[in-house]
Amino acid sequence: MIKLPTMPGITTQQVATSRLLQHVRLSGPESGEPVIFIHGNVSSGTFWEETMLALPEGFRGIAPDLRGYGESEFKPVDATRGLGDFADDVLALADALGCDRFHVVGHSMGGSVAFQVLATAPERLQTITLAAPGSPYGFGGTKDLDGTPCWPDFAGSGGGLVSPEFAGLLAVQDRGIDNPRASPRLVMNSFYWKVPFRPAREEELLSSMFTIRVKEDHYPGDMVKSANWPGVGPGVIGPNNALSPKYVGDMVERILAADHKPPILWIHGADDQIVSDMSFFDLGTLGKIQAVPDWPGEEAFPPQPMKGQTRRVLQRYIEAGGYFHEIELADCGHSPYLEKPKAFNNAFHALLHKK
């Protein structure tokens, strides 16, 4: 297991919860208002350290490594529950730390987990900050703003979307740049943020990517053959399958029907290539630009309108009595809290005080 260094002001702790042993980064006073930070896929809580250290006085930063990432205990993710395992782990951590109510911040897949926490226990949330979150309707294989599946079996989503080369290089902790399509360093610096941005802690963040468990029962996860393009559908284990729209269920309707609706901030980069309406990690986009052969066309399998889906759900959240504020940052990619920390923190801190 990789042991990652921490920045001055960040402490770590192994917290025994009712579900698993979770490795957690902490900042601020123990008596402060709890803010739980949820990291994205192929990363760990390391990504949140600068943001945790910038919290206003009186707030307590809590950044767990999700199961299968970082230094937390490994347990498989049951993808048929969608992101339920991750959400329940977050709530179990809050219980173990005595956090009856808390703020939650989620990036990318962590934003998708935050949506699931909102659907599961809305009364426990004070505010929600979504940094470039995945669509509430999952990743891949849907065609319109309401999350309609392209195919009945949700082909084009799940573990089959992951490059085997990329997964293999993660497994051997390859720090080079020899493979232009699959090098973890090049993927990070090309897609996690907008070129030419390079984070000061590039080596630590790259090491954080290597903490994901590349193994049969986690990443990239299993898959099934499909008669529908592109020929594979979601399996039943691992985070990439948990992100499939096949397993979203009634999450959106539960969010909209909840009596308690905490205020939401959605902040994202205008130049995000991972979560966008033309994502370069979506088979619809890759088929359209002829990077993947035999694309069945715009009507059958268009690029997933990921941001449009999120906007539609959050507009419905307002109509159901909630509040949300959207900020799109110019000249910014997939990690607004790292690329544009001043703008991100100004909006984020204002929401913390709004509650």
pLDDT, tens digit (0-9, with 9 covering 90-100), for 213-232: 999 999 999 999 999 999 99
* Domain-located, residue 43: yes
* Domain-located, residue 234: no
* Domain-located, residue 241: no
Instruction: Check pLDDT > 90 for residue 34.
Output: yes
pTM value is 0.98
Q: What is the CATH number of the domain that holds 254?
A: 3.40.50.1820
What local confidence, expressed as pLDDT, does residue 99 receive? Answer: 98
* Domain-located, residue 153: no
Number of domains the chain is built from: 1
Instruction: Check pLDDT > 80 for residue 355.
Output: no
* Domain-located, residue 259: yes
* Domain-located, residue 72: yes
pLDDT digits (tens, 9 = 90+) for 53-76: 999 999 999 999 999 999 999 999
* Domain-located, residue 218: no
In three-state form (DSSP H/G/I as H, E/B as E, the rest C), the secondary structure along the chain is CCCCCCCCCCEEEEEECCCCEEEEEEECCCCCEEEEEECCCCCCHHHHHHHHHCCCCCEEEEEECCCCCCCCCCCCCEHHHCCHHHHHHHHHHHHHCCCCCEEEEEECHHHHHHHHHHHHCHHHEEEEEEECCCCCCCCCCECCCCCCECCCCCCCCCHHHCCHHHHHHHHCCCCCCCCCCCCHHHHHHHHHCCCCCCCCCHHHHHHHHCCCCECCCCECCCEEECCCCCCEEECCECHHHHCCHHHCCCHHHHHHHCCCCCCEEEEEECCCCCCCCCCCCCHHHHHHCCCCCCCCCCCCCCCCCHHHHHHHHHHHHHHCCCCEEEEEECCCCCCHHHHCHHHHHHHHHHHHHHC
* Domain-located, residue 306: yes
Q: What is the span of the domain harbouring residue 294?
A: 11-147+250-354
